Amino acid sequence: MALPIVSVVLPTANAVMVPEAAAEASVSEYPAADRIDFTTHAPAAGTFPDRWICGSPSCMDNQDPAVQVHWYNEHTVFLRQNKAYSYEAPFLHLYFGNERILMLDQGFTTLRTDWALRDVVDNCIEKWCLRHGRKAEDMELLMAFSHLHADHYAALNQFIDRPNTRTMGLTHEEMVGFWGMTNYPEERVTLDLGGRNVLVWGNPGHVMSEFAYYDTYTQILYTGDMFYRGRCYISFWDRWFDSMKRLIAFVDTHPVTHVVGCHVEISRTGEDYPYGITYQPDEGPVQLTVEELRHAYEVAKTVTKPGIYFTGSVFLCNQTRGTTTIDKNPYAYS
């Protein structure tokens, strides 16, 4: 029996989606004085902290904030979940535009009483609006994420009742529909945040449904769990390698300041922090260079079978999901 084709009507972001070339010609409706110029000075300078909060020897004695808020620059915020709130300690991004705000990922703790991400984000938005003479309720918040794993959307429900907020959706079909894509993963669409364009395209490999985001203002390329300083669990090698090719083609044609992933699991000295650990005192920076991405691609070209391959900055865990281990029993003796 043939299954009926169900047409799902979704609250998509199509209205703000325009083909890449046309986006640049969009005309402002704000008076010039109020409007922030996100194009003339790109890439906008920004900073990463020397050290992110990275857990503590005793979790219950952790005195760090539940979420570290770092303003990369005036219009860009990076957030990090405290390791004592979730060992995944994912990074979250906020990109402010003239009309709307893009939030990438929502962390790994569900309850607002456990981890008040909503309050932190609302606070960031209010601060930004205050500085730039806008009303928070006029700014549309778009909730998107890299892929459908719980450490990237667990706190989404905290935003469900937030006014003027739209969510990407929790199925692949909804997400693709949200971005108005008809040819996933090749198609690259442009999200206009109001004078600030974010490019979005498919980035599968870790999972079948994942997205890459490129912010034209900071020129930061966000690669989610597909490529980050840690154990990239590659479930679908061919898909991942294709995504890698797309990323390389992208950095060949676009200026990229940093490649940023969702987690950090490797120390400055290249030591692996095992899965689940809650204290990473010497962790490496979250941002990777384009060279590190290119080098990983060169390493990936030589990969022919499942296994763990260290590129110097990331572990490529090719189809090892069930047994990914770099740790050995330290007490083994003969």
Partner 1 sequence: MAQNSYTPSLQGNPMSATGSQYPNGNPNAGYNGAGAKNTDSCVPLHRSGEVVHNYTCDGPAPGNIAFRWIYGSNVAAMNRDPRIQAMQYNEDTYILRENVCVHWEAPFTYLLFGNKGALLIDTGATPEAAYYPLRTTVDAIVTRWSQMRGRKNVPLTVVLTSGEDIAQNQGLGQFAGRPNTTLAPKPLAEMKEFYELGGSWPSGIGKIDLGDRVLDVIPTPGAHKDGVSFYDPYNDFLYTGDLLFPGKINISNDKDYVASLARLKEWKDKHPVKWVMGGHVEMQFVPGKAYPRFATYKPYERLLQMEPQAIDEALTYAREVEGKEMMLVRPDFILLNGVSPDQKTSVFPAGVPNINAPRPF
> Can you give the binding site for partner 1, defined by CB under 8 A?
57-62, 66, 82, 84-87, 109-110, 114-115, 150, 154, 274-278, 322-329, 331-334
* Least distance from partner 1 to the Cβ atom of residue 225, Å: 18
Distance from C-alpha of 283 to C-alpha of 59, rounded to nearest angstrom: 17
Residue 249: its H or E element: helix 237-253
Three-state secondary-structure class, residue 149:
coil
**Closer to partner 1 at the Cβ: 139 or 156?**
156
* Least distance from partner 1 to the Cβ atom of residue 57, Å: 7
**Closer to partner 1 at the Cβ: 86 or 167?**
86
* Least distance from partner 1 to the Cβ atom of residue 140, Å: 29
Report the 10 Å Cβ neighbour count for 112.
14
Distance from C-alpha of 156 to C-alpha of 162, rounded to nearest angstrom: 11
Distance from C-alpha of 82 to C-alpha of 65, rounded to nearest angstrom: 7
**Closer to partner 1 at the Cβ: 87 or 95?**
87
25 Cβ contact partners less than 8 Å away, ≥ 6 residues apart: none
For 71, half-sphere exposure in the C-beta direction (CA atoms, 13 angstrom radius) is 9
**Closer to partner 1 at the Cβ: 99 or 151?**
151
**Closer to partner 1 at the Cβ: 163 or 333?**
333
* Least distance from partner 1 to the Cβ atom of residue 331, Å: 4
* Least distance from partner 1 to the Cβ atom of residue 306, Å: 14
Nearest to 53 by CA among 63, 40, 39: 63
Beta bridge partners, 224, equal: 261
